[in-house]
Amino acid sequence: MNDPGWLRRVVTYVHHYGVAARLAALLAILALTFVVTWLLRRGYFQAVGYPGVFLSAFLSSATLILPAPGMAVVMAMGGVLNPWLVGIVAGAGDGLGESTGYLAGLSGQAALPNNERYRQIQNLMLRYGAVVLFVFALVPNPFFDLAGISAGALRYPWRRFLLWTLTGKVGKNIFIAFLGAHIAHIIAPYLP
């Protein structure tokens, strides 16, 4: 184990695996969007409507660390329903669901203090609180859970946490819903 090459190989493997995993997730979301759009066009999910969008977004963001398919539902529903309303409703569900991370940090139940990424995000939260929450909520990324946990652990005011989280999540979901509407418009001629 004195050979430093093994570490380089491990880092290279993790880097390549991470890129492949992101690409696979993107392809899976696009495929799921295609299938859900096809089902929506046939009226299978019309009864679900906006409450279903809210619930899907809420449950997807309420899971800590583990990804859930809420983005695909927002994208697909944006192709069938009003994308503005889909984005707002999904953003509200998404933002409220993120409170689970905040509560985990607030209660001290989160077992992440020894994680280097967590410490980096916590330092950012100490310096730039609202900006970190807004940007992390606006840009799809896997680190928002850590920001939420950090906000709770730092006793960041919950109302401000909710304000900046909702603002970012609504913006993100409006973009995703309009992207779904655009994709639905493009693929509609190819659907049977």
**Structure confidence by residue, pLDDT tens digits, 20-45:** 555 665 666 666 666 666 666 666 65
In angstroms, the CA 132 to CA 123 distance is 10
User: What residue spans define the domains of the chain?
Assistant: 33-190
- Give the pLDDT band (50/70/90) at residue 19: low
Return mean pLDDT, the chain: 78
Question: pLDDT digit string (tens) for 148-183?
Answer: 888 888 889 999 999 999 999 999 999 999 998 888
pLDDT for res 38: 67
pTM reported for the whole predicted model: 0.73
Residue 88: which of 182, 181, 174, 179 has the closest Cα? 174
Residue of higher predicted confidence among 28 and 51: 51
Q: Residue 18 above 70 pLDDT?
A: no
pLDDT for res 96: 93
pLDDT for res 7: 46
Dihedral class, residue 155 (left if φ above 0, else alpha if ψ from -120 to 50, else beta): left
